[in-house]
Amino acid sequence: MPESTLEFGFTLKARDGMARRGTLTTAWGKVETPVFMPVGTAATVKGMMPESLASTGASIILANTYHLMLRPGAERVARLGGVRKMMGWDGPLLTDSGGFQVMSLGPLRKLDEDGVTFKSHLDGSQHRLTPERSTEIQYLLDATITMAFDECTPFPATKSVAAESMALSMRWAKRSRVAYQPRTGYGQFGIVQGSIFSDLRAESVAALEDIDFEGYAVGGLAVGEGQEAMFETLEATTPLMEDRKPRYLMGVGKPSDLVGGVARGIDMFDCVLPTRSGRTGQGFTRRGPVNLKNARHAEDPRPLDEACNCPVCTRFSRAYIHHLFKAEEVLSLMLLSWHNIYYYQDLMREMQRAIDAGRFVDFEASFHAMQAQGDIDPL
């Protein structure tokens, strides 16, 4: 693949309270933050053509180490030129470390100091991930941003369990950093752990900054602790994180999670929610989520969100999308995934503008007021 001469970096351009506006520069293009990264688990954002994805304003996407190492295999992806080339995505790509998915396997995995042995959910075959192998796989996938291999601490966890788990993740972070092969315009992020315990989070931040990554993620949240505890943990964590580096809240979230995350100093997010909801008939709107399968939409000629300029809302009615879901047509999920990703990108654009203009508090208030209105009345 062609070499890039763009250096990896993060420029903070504006702030408004704790909220930040920045530009992340990578080998494969610039990313305006705060940013939402759509998830392309198996090297495809489900139901989206890469250019449709780009047309929503998505500027960086995520792919999953766990899924791709099992199928089609990291070495195979490398021979095909990496995930970006294979899937036709021109922008930067972030891969997770596989840690989160492997931990979710429960009894199918066994953890030791060196790493994790687990059985594939596809065929039961045995695999092993270590900080070194996870980092190597992400190199083979050609990840623009590589994540350190960590243990995602289960929730709830006692403080001593959380402390042990965090300490292991910090040892693994060090090994991940050693295993990382730097390339121009590429970077590696460490992951802050410590469950909901602020002193553990502080300890984790310090340990990672000692290692010195290109950016830092907050991990182990959105795992059942609830929005309030998540926000409290962020409030205890982000003020301790290096100001000049990007901050990424992993696996989050609902629109209100993104707004609250930005308010608490987060720059980057990823979540399967826009596409997963799109497949089940849930559309996100400025007035909250709407279930398009509901019979009330069967003859509604209005768009899903009248304020939305996406290719779905400008051309298709709620009635048509409802029909497509009833008929189990694949276009149903294509349209709703497209709209939902566009809505998420719109939300990020609105937050960027609000921070630029120093009116993030007003934005937050009007966002919540709109969401609280609920869906438009039936005709």
Q: Is 270 an active-site residue?
A: yes
Please say which residue, 212 or 299, places its beta carbon nearer to its own copies: 299
Q: Is 16 an active-site residue?
A: no
148 touches 213 (CB < 8 A): yes
Phi/psi at 267 (nearest 5 deg)? -105, -25
DSSP, residue by residue, 152-206: ---SS--HHHHHHHHHHHHHHHHHHHHH----TT-EEEEEE--TT-HHHHHHHHH
Q: Which residues bind its own copies (CB under 8 A)?
A: 42-44, 46-49, 67, 71-72, 76, 79-81, 86-88, 298-299, 301, 311, 315-317, 319-320, 323-324, 326-327, 329-331, 333-334
Least distance between its own copies and beta carbon 356 (Å): 33
Please say which residue, 317 or 366, places its beta carbon nearer to its own copies: 317
Least distance between its own copies and beta carbon 50 (Å): 8
Identity of residue 126: Q
Catalytic site residue from 96, 150, 346, 375:
96
263 touches 17 (CB < 8 A): yes
CB atoms within 10 A of CB 80: 14
Least distance between its own copies and beta carbon 275 (Å): 10
**Placement of tokens 């939409």 in the chain:** 297
Please say which residue, 195 or 277, places its beta carbon nearer to its own copies: 277
Least distance between its own copies and beta carbon 16 (Å): 38
Q: Please name every residue paired with 39 in a beta bridge, in sequence order, or none if there are none.
A: 62
Least distance between its own copies and beta carbon 146 (Å): 22
Please say which residue, 178 or 330, places its beta carbon nearer to its own copies: 330
Please say which residue, 50 or 190, places its beta carbon nearer to its own copies: 50
Catalytic site residue from 270, 300, 305, 375:
270
Please say which residue, 199 or 329, places its beta carbon nearer to its own copies: 329
The sign of the CA dihedral 279, 65, 57, 267 is positive
End-to-end Cα, the chain, rounded Å? 54
**Placement of tokens 């980092």 in the chain:** 135
Torsion of CA 339, 342, 343, 349, to 10 degrees: -170
Return the half-sphere exposure (C-beta side, CA atoms, 13 A cut-off) of residue 170: 21
- What distance in Å separates the CA atoms of residue 245 and residue 170, rounded to the nearest whole number? 18
Least distance between its own copies and beta carbon 55 (Å): 12
Q: What residues are labeled active site?
A: 96, 270
